[in-house]
Structure 1
Amino acid sequence: MASPSPNPRVSYPEAARALLRTSILDAMRELLGERDWSRITLGDVAGRAGVSRQTLYKEFGSRAGLAQAYALRLADQLVDHVEAAIWLNVGDPRAAVRDGLTNFFIDAAEDPLIQSLLTGEVKLDLLRLITLDSEPLVDRAADRLTRTFVESWVRAPVAEAGALARALVRIALSFIPAPPRPDQDVPGELALVLAPFVEQLVAGPQPTAGEQGSGGAADRTR
């Protein structure tokens, strides 16, 4: 099966809004590299991005909305890594899961928002984003991964693809507030657990005993 086709064209307003959001989230990332999330205001982000506070409020609504948008971008990065690993490891579910999660964990460990979450005073607002209030992240990432598992060489049925996608996303997010120890090969362990299910999906439904019998009888009459 061929790799996914390029993204369809988007309208100018959509492209302009995407650029605006990217610029603001990039500005937030820069500021997080300089100081803790608790010391960053919306005014700081707006100034760094070169937009008005009114524009920022209109786009994100609040400080919590800005943090959630940033977290959603992290969820997109998870999907990007898994998708890339799937197409780089055609026919090898274990390597695809292992490589996708490995690269995501590396990126997550280096992200300044995650570093801010894990250091200094407890930041319940950030913690809630990936625990109690994680449904938007899970839904977004799982929807994308479901399509990938259906449309890629995995060729999974929609129900099974959705179950696998949600499980993988929830597991990956659970390691953000409690990163794997350096001596742990968490991606390898998760691949060991999840790969057999993916392999079963790749193999497709197996014929029942009755179907095997009737098929054999049909073969003998040819």
Structure 2
Amino acid sequence: MSTDDRLLNATGRILAEVGWAQVTMAAVASAADVSRQTLYKRFGSRGELAEAYVLRESGRLVAVVDGAIAARADDPRAAITAAFDVFLAAAAEHPLVRAIVGEGEGADELLELFTIRGRSVLDAAADHLATRLRTTWPALSRDAADIAAEIAVRLAISVAALPDGPAHLNGARLADAMVPFLERELAANPQ
């Protein structure tokens, strides 16, 4: 396991136990069994550590979505429904998402990484998802895949960030909003 992975894993463990306000550079270095100098050399600041952790974990959540889509490539509605369902289920249990939607101290700092400074997280997730959509359905144009991915990522994050919202906003209902667009785009470019 790389030093970066050890440090990011330690960040996640501390976050799950005590919340973001208690995730200090000293605590992370200690939990990863490295010096603070090593931690600062790898990530520079607590903010950079947070951004690296958020990017890695959002990538892991997107990978879960990837598998759901790939497993149902023959049925776009089932694929998109499953993608939303697995994302929302994984997000509900993930320490990062729980810290963001919680009212604990430090949640605003993490939320800012998805909102005010969140372009890198959104871009990475949307780019990955757009690639998955084009790989799964080659008839989908680049533009249509990019639009669908951007909308799906923003929609999924919004629903995950407000877990006490309407219960009917599940994978099937979210897919109802997206699938007609995908089906129209796929029908326009049959292969």
TM-score of the superposed pair, with normalisation by structure 2: 0.88
Partner of 2:185, secondary structure, is helix
Query: Do the aligned partners of 2:15 and 2:22 also contact (CA within 8 Å) in 1?
Result: no
Structure 2 match to 1:77: 60
Q: Which moved more, 1:71-80 or 1:40-49?
A: 71-80
2:68 pairs with 1:103: no
Q: Distance in 2 between matches of 1:151 and 1:160?
A: 13
Deviation digits for residues 107-158 of structure 1 (CA, Å, limit 9, x no counterpart): 1111122222313246321111111111000111111112112222353111
Matching residue's letter, 1:66: L
2:142 pairs with 1:158: yes
Higher helix share: 2
- 2:151 aligns with one of 167, 175, 190: 167
Structure 2 match to 1:39: 22
Structure 1 match to 2:174: 190
- 2:107 aligns with one of 111, 123, 147: 123
Query: Do the aligned partners of 2:140 and 2:189 also contact (CA within 8 Å) in 1?
Result: no
Mapping 1:1-222, distance limit 5 Å? 19-117=2-100, 118-121=102-105, 123-181=107-165, 183-205=167-189
Q: Distance in 1 between matches of 2:185 and 2:59?
A: 24
Q: Distance in 1 between matches of 2:164 and 2:138?
A: 28
Matching residue's letter, 1:171: L
Deviation digits for residues 16-53 of structure 1 (CA, Å, limit 9, x no counterpart): 7xx22222111111112221211221111111112221
Higher RCO (CA-CA < 8 Å; seq separation 6+): 2
Structure 2 match to 1:220: none
**Structure 2 alignment gaps of length 5 or more:** none
The alpha carbon displacement at 1:65 in A equals: 1.2
**Structure 1 alignment gaps of length 5 or more:** 1-15, 207-222
TM-score of the superposed pair, with normalisation by structure 1: 0.77
Distance 1:183 1:142, change over 3 A: closer
The alpha carbon displacement at 1:180 in A equals: 4.9
Q: Distance in 2 between matches of 1:42 and 1:94?
A: 44
Q: Distance in 2 between matches of 1:128 and 1:147?
A: 26
Q: Distance in 2 between matches of 1:116 and 1:145?
A: 24
Q: Distance in 2 between matches of 1:154 and 1:92?
A: 14
Matching residue's letter, 2:73: V
Q: Which moved more, 1:136-145 or 1:122-131?
A: 122-131
Query: Do the aligned partners of 2:15 and 2:95 also contact (CA within 8 Å) in 1?
Result: yes
Deviation digits for residues 33-82 of structure 1 (CA, Å, limit 9, x no counterpart): 22121122111111111222122222222111111112112321332122
Q: Which moved more, 1:68-77 or 1:23-32?
A: 68-77
Matching residue's letter, 1:139: D
Query: Do the aligned partners of 1:86 and 1:97 also contact (CA within 8 Å) in 2?
Result: yes
Partner of 2:161, secondary structure, is coil
